[in-house]
Amino acid sequence: MKKIIIILTFFLILINGFVFASSATVKQNISVQSVDGFSIKGTLEYPKVKGQKEFSTVVLLHSLGYSSQWWESLPRELLSEGYAVLTIDLRGHGQSVYNSKLVRTSWSNMTDSAFAKYPDDVVQVIEKIKSENSKRVFFKNWAMVGADIGASTAVLTAERAGIEPKTIVLLSPVVEVKGLYIPVKLAHLSGVDILAINGTDDNSGKEAADYLKKFAQAAFVTYTSESRSTGMMMLKNDESLSKIITAWLDEYL
């Protein structure tokens, strides 16, 4: 009996060691100075797998007034599936709050002309990652998840990124926010399937999704979360949502 217990204990140690090793990740802090001198911050994290040089990548773009720290369990869920995860603090949010004169600037004080630069900021972050990681490939096979203004930014970024994402997930999509109007740009994405997610009580979000669906050139699927919240907060109030989003991405990446 003692021998069996020792063997089982050793086996459990091996299993725990394997789980720990397989959950190890590499994290890179990203800092980009935009064309107009604004400091854009982000984080790239991917599984630490010996010999792996290519990673399917998911870009996460947060809600208005929040930051990349509010994604709840979604980044961990994506990493556990083997994806690289890029989170970006959009200008005026989180760590991306300093302009060219090192003056702290909040999104609440920005004009529409500043919000219009969001897609270019994201593309610039992506290009920096590609140029600084010559031994690894991150954006050959990729997707985006965005919440409200992040959703709008994702659609606008997709057209400018060179290689279109395989799919985009829109949390609480809007037709126009802070001057970012997306129906026409959505019509240009001929091969990008869309998943639009809204909360149970988000009637305006559902109306926006119905309107945007008219412009989609590929599949446009809608899903209603059990959460009564909107944007990123749906992830906090609906624990199943991270797995649903990851399952959707698994079909494309």
Domain definitions of the chain by residue range: 26-250
Give strand pairing partners of 59.
86, 144
Backbone angles phi, psi at 106, to 5 degrees: -95, 150
Query: What is the C-alpha separation between 111 and 79, in angstroms, rounded?
Result: 35
Each residue of 60-107: pLDDT tens digit? 999 999 999 999 999 999 999 999 999 999 999 999 999 888 999 999
pLDDT of residue 64: 98
pLDDT at residue 211 is higher than 50: yes
Give strand pairing partners of 210.
none
pLDDT of residue 23: 65
Mean pLDDT for all residues in the chain: 90
Tell me which H or E stretch contains 42. strand 39-47
Nearest to 251 by CA among 216, 224, 221: 221
Question: Is 3.40.50.1820 the CATH number for 26-250?
Answer: yes
Query: What is the C-alpha separation between 250 and 244, in angstroms, rounded?
Result: 10
Q: Which tops the pLDDT comparison, 100 or 206?
A: 206
pLDDT at residue 204 is higher than 90: yes
Record the pTM: 0.90
pLDDT at residue 11 is higher than 70: no
Nearest to 162 by CA among 197, 127, 133: 127
Cα 184 to Cα 2, 120, 129, 180: the distances in Å are 71, 18, 29, 11
pLDDT at residue 196 is higher than 70: yes
pLDDT of residue 22: 47
Token readout for 182 is 């997306």
Q: How far is CA 109 from the centre of its chain?
A: 24
Torsion of CA 90, 159, 57, 45, to 10 degrees: -20
pLDDT of residue 162: 86
